[in-house]
Structure 1
Amino acid sequence: MPQRPRFLRGPRIDDGLRAPVIRTERLLLRPHRIADAAAWYALQSDPDVVAYLEWPLRTRAESFVHLFNRTRHTRLEQRDDFLALAVVLDDRVIGDASLHLRSLEPARRRCDVGWVIGPEWQGRGYAQEAGLAMLDLAFDRLGAATVEAHMALGNRASLVLAERLGFTEDRIEDGQRVMALSVERYRSQLDGRDAASAF
């Protein structure tokens, strides 16, 4: 279903995000580009990548259209805005990280976070690194009160990653596990990491 024009979609938040670019220790997270088409198709045509996603296996043409649409998901300002960033390692797209803005009110502002890393790069901490970067974006720059991660019940790898990031199970909904992380828990984990790095 097509999204309504922005001027019909209600209020904006003053502290929203537009086309953020994030550098972590090893990764670059930045908006998708049409030039990413070959790498994006490699991810979207891999059965292991889409096994627990709501994505079908896509042809090269379908993948190009999907990527084109993803290049436009660059802001978080209004309810239901979606931000998609390419996860880049050494100039190669290895995955995707996303935030979906679900509510605007500062005391209850909520985002959903998602992550995909290609099988070739799994098991090296890249998903955790990208996930932490997206949580920093949600909590520190967007002012979220809660971040949720929705995943298929059988997706053990995403469950383990979510728990490493500090999420706890909140509920089972529509056949998916919903994990939640509050800003208070996020801040306490940051304090713990800072204290550990001081030694």
Structure 2
Amino acid sequence: MTATAASVAARPAALPAAPLTVPPAAPPTAPPEHRDPAESARVTVTALERPQPARSARLVLEPLAVRHAEEMAEVLGDPALHSFIGGAPLGPAELRARYVRLVAGSPDPSVVWLNWVLRLRPEDRLVGTVQATVTDGGRTAEVAWVIGTPWQGRGFAREAAEGLVGLLLGRGVRTVVAHVHPDHTASAAGAAGLTPTDLVEDGETRWERRAPAG
């Protein structure tokens, strides 16, 4: 099967997704008056400090762990997939080293990295990833999703994107952003409620969804 752009987005199908089931968000913590500004920015994203498990109709979003590297090396192993997401397939050892860095989190205290692997429940196997980079004091998240070539064309990108965006908006994010190459099919971004803007960055169109005011 040839990798298709419908299942990749944001530098990293047709079935509507059921809402994600997620644990309740922790109550916000008010920052003390004399807290360092960088530390205060992190406090505002307490509910997004670490990725939490969630599930949709067919997928489980499992927080990324180093132990996922071996299976994900197979999922992401098609060279054609990387014509959309960049780079080249990584072996298990290289991917393990990358996941160590991702799990450790961003070195910038004002940026939060959230990464999940997608487990297909009926088959109990990994089929892709979703990720969000949260900035602006927890108000903005840039998202991306990748589905392995063998599982494309079954609506998983749409289901994962809808679930991810809904989770972020439910945890206080106000603006969700994805960057999509104009040659790519953007059905997953559209299904998640994102709309294209006139902004182009590095040849990719910026898509956005803003939470309703108030």
Residue 183 of structure 1 aligns with which residue?
211
Secondary structure of 2:116 counterpart: strand
Q: Judge conservation of contact 2:73–2:89 (CA < 8 Å) in 1.
A: no
Corresponding position: 1:166 with 2:193: yes
Structure with a larger share of its residues in helix: 1
1:7-63 CA distances to partner (integer Å, 9 max, x unpaired)?
A: 995422154322311011111101122332222111333113222113333233222
Instruction: State the AA in 1 paired with 2:134.
Output: L
RMSD: 2.5
Residue 138 of structure 1 aligns with which residue?
168
Q: Distance in 2 between matches of 1:151 and 1:168?
A: 11
- With the length of structure 1 as denominator, give the TM-score of the two structures: 0.75
**1:53-64, aligned counterparts within 5 Å?**
53-64=85-96
Residue 118 of structure 1 aligns with which residue?
148
Q: Distance in 2 between matches of 1:78 and 1:101?
A: 11
Corresponding position: 1:103 with 2:130: no
Instruction: State the AA in 1 paired with 2:183.
Output: G
Residue 36 of structure 1 aligns with which residue?
68
Pairwise CA distance, 1:164 = 2.2
- With the length of structure 2 as denominator, give the TM-score of the two structures: 0.70
Instruction: State the AA in 2 paired with 1:65.
Output: A
1:140-196 CA distances to partner (integer Å, 9 max, x unpaired)?
A: 11x11110011233322xx122122221111111221110111129xxxxxxxxxxx
- Alignment identity in percent? 26
Aligned residues: 171
Instruction: State the AA in 2 paired with 1:162.
Output: A
1:99-133 CA distances to partner (integer Å, 9 max, x unpaired)?
A: 1112117xxx1111110111111111111111111
Q: Which has the higher contact order (CA 8 A, sep 6+)?
A: 2
Residue 15 of structure 2 aligns with which residue?
none
Residue 24 of structure 1 aligns with which residue?
56
